A and B are shown apart, each in its own frame.
Chain A
Amino acid sequence: MTEQKRHRILMVSDFFYPNFGGVENHIYYLSQCLLKLGHKVIVMTHAYGNRSGVRYMTGGLKVYYIPWKPFLMQNTLPTFFGTLPILRTILIRENISLVHGHQAFSTLCHEALMHARTMGYKVVFTDHSLYGFADVGSIHMNKVLQFTLADVSQAICVSHTSKENTVLRSGLAPEKVFVIPNAVDTAMFKPASERLSRNEIVIVVISRLVYRKGADLLVEVIPEVCCLYPNVRFIIGGDGPKRVRLEEMREKHNIQDRVDMLGAVPHAQVRSVLISGHIFLNSSLTEAFCIAILEAASCGLLTVSTRVGGVPEVLPDDMIMLAEPMPSDMINAVGKAIRMLPMIDPQVMHLRMKSLYSWYDVAKRTELVYDHALRCTDENLLQRLPRYLSCGAWAGKLFCLIMIINFLLWHLLNLLKPLEGIEEVPDFVYPHHQHEEPPFDLNQR
């Protein structure tokens, strides 16, 4: 790889390890694969507990936990300009060429993208979630997204449905939005070496037990399924406010011995729970992509899921049973899945998943987006302001004002702490990451 093609990327999001979820996973695996492709990747997130400062992760991935405390749902307090000094220092110290922000409700991501644009960097944004247009929360969120995306070089969505949603929410040109799905670490999610007996069919549910994940649907579906199929057992992993309802349901229908509730399952143990079952049941009411389905399919489970958001795009039709989010339809789909079960070979399914999804492929495609972004023309503040102005009658003017203040602050910072005073960090070259076999398999094809 030539030195010119090498990107120097800063990933920004409020969500990163030790927190756990789809976004965190995405950033981690994407960074790992980009590192393997020879790019330089730095991650920036806020401090988690006493984890503050710089950490190195596998493969020489450098993570800045900036000393900024989260205030709500792992989000930092929106201060608009507060993160400018530290971000500027990191960008200059690490000699970054491109900033990549993740997740629409991460305030740190929005602020960082704004500062990066002010400083003339190219920015890419990945949207991981779906939003409606009706309620007050969504309307405000969409305005913020419009602000960030007004001036973003390229955007990435995780599914085609998510792309439609993002384009509608932000008014971005559709050709600036790329669809690059998530992937799954198939090496980590292998099926059990021995096939389970089919005398007893085990249905696994792993999700947070909240309204949006359809816990109320489960309450309706589980007793019916237990009643219809006497050889079915449920394993429910996850915790949340709706857990009480599920436990009540279990007692009411007297099926304690057939419904196991495990409580929260650490991600490292998800596989061991998954491989004890035949069918994976996902009851989400909204979902941009749903990595959980990939993990289950990679473990060789047949999936039954609600037909919401991006879920229909995730797996080929013969690997997933889709149902409308209604109890009756879900019960039918579970029945169909049970009848289909003899035709499913977990090992074959795992191999298929290996060919369908890989983080390596995701990284390659993201690399192309970076190339696109870097080819965008440089623009000064005056050329960019009209785009903010078109965001809305009031909001547009407000956005312009914020950008102008940010621009002035940046120049003030340049005076107070000149570029020459900031030392560039020497690159950390991981001893064996290009020509040798990687230390662990990130499902390279």
Chain B
Amino acid sequence: MESISKDEISIPSQPKWRKVAYGGMQPGYSDNYTDESFLEGMVMNANVVKRDMLKVMQDSVSISQYICIVALVVCVWTYTLGSTITETTLLLLDSCLLGLGFVVLILTAKRLSLHLLFHYLLNIAFFISGLYILAPIYCTLTKSISSDSIWALTVLLLLVHLFLHDYSGSTIRPPGALTNPTLTSNISLNASIVASVLIASRLPSRLHVFAVMLFSLQIFLFAPLVAYCIKKYSFGLHLWFSSGLMLVALGLVSTLHRLLFGLLLGLLVFVTFVCPYWLIRIQEYKFEINGPWDEAKLCFDVTE
């Protein structure tokens, strides 16, 4: 910063300007004098990360995967509403998913703890019985509202859910996680739950309602956790799992409607190829300024 030392200047009458505030106005220089060293300490784009296309594409797989999961849920909802799936099939599906989820959690966990497993089982038992008791209420919740409004609202809520979803982690944290879920991810989770309640309330019987609610809640609450565990366990497995899910989702959606199939395919291409390319392209517009005026960062962690 200081520029006092070393080189003597040729003209003795004009002392060199110094970047100092003391000693009053510097002789020969007015207060609005701007030296050549002005903004010398400014650093531009110091923290820009060079991104690799392949890496960004791989990272975007998490997003495509979750979109497919939601698409699958929507398929199941539609089939249940159209009575293609009976409640017994659905209950069977529920228990299969629950079992599979547990197997994945146990296999990917670093160390197995019986206590934790028991804790999980107890919670799920409470959860299922609570849902069963509440099912009659859900059944008649929106009797007075037209189906069109319900569908519109559900689509809207699912969009909110997808938009705000925490794709990098999981809203339901594995035990012992350090950080708390963010506000947006909580809003997203709640939107999805409301959407499931709305859909369930269109169904004819209590058992239907119970089965669909259990299915949607299992997916919305625990699928991100399971996917997160798989991703942490092995990235290759995560990629295989995701591509499998994508194929299944595309196949199921294509049986629903051509347009929906096109839409989902377009969305997946957009997320996996266009968005990463776009992200890398807009990096050149990055304009970040750092300099001596920045607040200093502490080099140690502050624990409250």
Q: Which residues of A contact B (CB under 8 A)?
A: 130-134, 154, 158-165, 167-168, 174-181, 211-212, 214, 216-217, 220, 245, 285-286, 288-289, 306, 308-310, 312-317, 325-327, 355-358, 361, 365, 368-369, 372
In the complex, chain A residues whose CB is within 8 Å of the CB of B291: 164-165, 168
Residues of chain A contacted by B41 (CB below 8 angstroms): 161, 164
The answer to whether A212 touches B32, judged by C-beta atoms less than 8 angstroms apart, is no
Q: Chain B interface mostly helix, strand, loop or mixed?
A: loop
A309: B residues at CB distance < 8 A: 292-293
**Are B289 and A286 in contact, with the CB atoms below 8 A?**
no
Inter-subunit contact B296/A325 (CB<8 Å)? yes
Chain A residues closer than 8 Å to B19, beta-carbon distance: 160, 313
B284 within 8 A of A: no
Give the Cβ gap from A47 to chain B, nearest Cβ, in Å: 32
| Interface pair A361/B24, CB less than 8 Å apart | yes
Residues of chain A contacted by B298 (CB below 8 angstroms): 216-217, 285, 325
Looking at the complex, which one of B22, B30, B34, B42 makes contact with A168 (CB distance below 8 Å)? B42
The answer to whether B293 touches A177, judged by C-beta atoms less than 8 angstroms apart, is: no
4 interchain residue pairs of minimum CB distance: A181-B21, A325-B296, A165-B293, A178-B31
Q: Are B21 and A289 in contact (CB under 8 A)?
A: yes
B295 A212 Cβ-Cβ under 8 A: yes
Cβ A317 vs Cβ B2 within 8 A? yes
**Any A CB within 8 A of the CB of B148:** no
Q: Is the CB of B31 within 8 A of A368?
A: yes
Q: How far is the CA of A176 from the CA of B32 in the complex (A)?
A: 7
Shortest CB–CB separation between residue B96 and chain A, in angstroms?
46
Contact, CB under 8 Å: A327 / B21? no
Determine if A175 and B34 form an interchain contact, defined as CB atoms under 8 angstroms apart: yes
Residue of A nearest to B294 (CB): A132
Contact with A along B11-46 (1 / 0, CB 8 A): 000000001111111000011101000110110000
> Chain A nearest CB: distance from B65 CB in Å?
31
Min CB–CB distance B201 → chain A (angstroms): 40
- Say if the beta carbon of B177 comes within 8 Å of chain A: no
Contacts of B304 in A (CB 8 A): 245
**Chain A contacts of B52 at CB under 8 A?**
none
CA distance A159 to B31 in the complex (A): 11
Q: Decide: B25 and A365 in contact? CB cutoff 8 A.
A: yes
Contact A286:B294 (CB < 8 A) given known A314-B21, A356-B23: yes
Taking the nearest CB of chain B, how far is it from the CB of A366, in angstroms? 9
* Interface residue B125 (Cβ < 8 Å from any Cβ of A): no
Q: Are B32 and A175 in contact (CB under 8 A)?
A: yes
Contact A133 B289, CB 8 Å, known A164-B39, A168-B42, A174-B34 = yes
- Does B259 belong to the interface (CB within 8 Å)? no
A165–B296 Cα gap in the complex (Å)? 15
Q: Which of A285, A314, A372 interacts with B295 by CB under 8 Å?
A: A285
Contact of A308 with B296 in the complex, beta carbons under 8 Å: yes
A314 B31 Cβ-Cβ under 8 A: no
Q: Would A285 and B21 count as touching, CB distance under 8 A?
A: no
Q: Across the A-B interface, how many residue pairs have beta carbons closer than 8 Å? A: 109
Inter-chain CA distance A158–B31, complex, in Å, is 11
Q: Of the candidates A134, A306, A365, which one forms a contact with B31 in the assembled complex, judged by CB atoms under 8 Å apart?
A: A365
Shortest distance between the CB of B22 and any CB in chain A (Å): 4
Min Cβ gap B293→A in Å is 4
Decide if B293 touches A161 in the complex (CB within 8 Å): yes
Min CB–CB distance B298 → chain A (angstroms): 6
Q: A160-B21, A310-B21, A314-B22 are in contact. Are A179 and B31 (CB under 8 A)?
A: yes
The answer to whether A357 touches B295 (Cβ under 8 A) is no
Say yes or no: B21 contacts A179, CB within 8 Å: yes
Interchain CB contact under 8 A, A164 and B293: yes
A211 vs B302: C-alpha distance when bound (angstroms): 10
Residues of B with C-beta under 8 A to A163? 38
Known: A133-B289, A168-B39, A365-B25. A312 touches B296 (CB 8 A): no
B297 → chain A, closest Cβ, in Å? 8
In the complex, A198→B159 CA distance in Å? 71
With A176-B32, A216-B302, A317-B2: A285-B296 Cβ-Cβ less than 8 Å: yes
CB distance from B27 to the nearest CB of A (A): 13
A308 to chain B, nearest CB (A): 5
A131, B38: Cα distance in complex, Å: 17
10 contacts between A and B (CB under 8 A): A132-B294, A164-B292, A168-B42, A175-B32, A175-B34, A178-B32, A216-B302, A325-B296, A361-B25, A365-B25
Q: Whole-angstrom distance between the alpha carbons of A159 and B1 in the complex?
A: 13
Closest B residue by C-beta to A327: B300
B178 adjacent to chain A (CB < 8 Å)? no
Bound-state Cα–Cα, A212 to B297, Å: 10
B9 interface hit (Cβ, 8 Å): no
A164–B42 CB distance below 8 A: yes
When chains A and B are docked, how far (Å) is the Cα of A12 from the Cα of B39? 29
Contact B34 A286 (CB under 8 A): no
Q: Is B7 an interface residue (CB 8 A)?
A: no
> Is A312 a contact partner of B1 (Cβ separation < 8 A)?
yes
For residue A361, which residues in chain B have a CB less than 8 angstroms away from its CB? 24-25
Q: How far is the CA of A164 from the CA of B292 in the complex (A)?
A: 9
Q: With the chains together, A327 CA to B301 CA distance in Å?
A: 12
- Contact of B22 (CB < 8 Å), options: A178, A211, A245, A357: A357
Residues of A within 8 A of B292 (CB): 161, 164, 308-309
State A130–B291 Cα separation when bound (angstroms). 11
Give the contacts of B265-304 with A (CB-CB under 8 A): 288-296, 298-300, 302, 304
In the bound assembly, the distance between CA atoms of A161 and B39 in angstroms comes to 8
**Bitwise interface map of B from 166 to 201 toward A, beta carbon under 8 Å scored 1, else 0:** 000000000000000000000000000000000000
In the complex, what distance in Å separates the CA atom of A289 from the CA atom of B22?
11
What separation, in Å, do the CA atoms of A410 and B40 have in the docked complex? 43
Report the bound CA distance from A109 to B1 in whole Å: 32
Q: Which residues of A contact B2 (CB under 8 A)?
A: 312, 317
Query: How far apart sit A220 and B41, CA to CA, in the bound complex (Å)?
Result: 28
CA–CA, A173 and B293, complex, Å: 19
Known: A174-B34, A312-B1, A313-B19. A326 touches B295 (CB 8 A): no
Determine how close the nearest CB of chain B comes to the CB of A319; give it in whole angstroms.
9
Contact A132 to B295, CB < 8 A, known contacts A168-B289, A176-B32, A179-B31: yes
Which residue on B lies nearest to A361, using beta carbons?
B24
A164, closest chain B residue (CB): B39
- Contacts of A365 on B, CB cut-off 8 Å? 24-25, 31
Chain B residues near A216 (CB-CB < 8 A): 298, 300, 302
CA distance A179 to B21 in the complex (A): 8
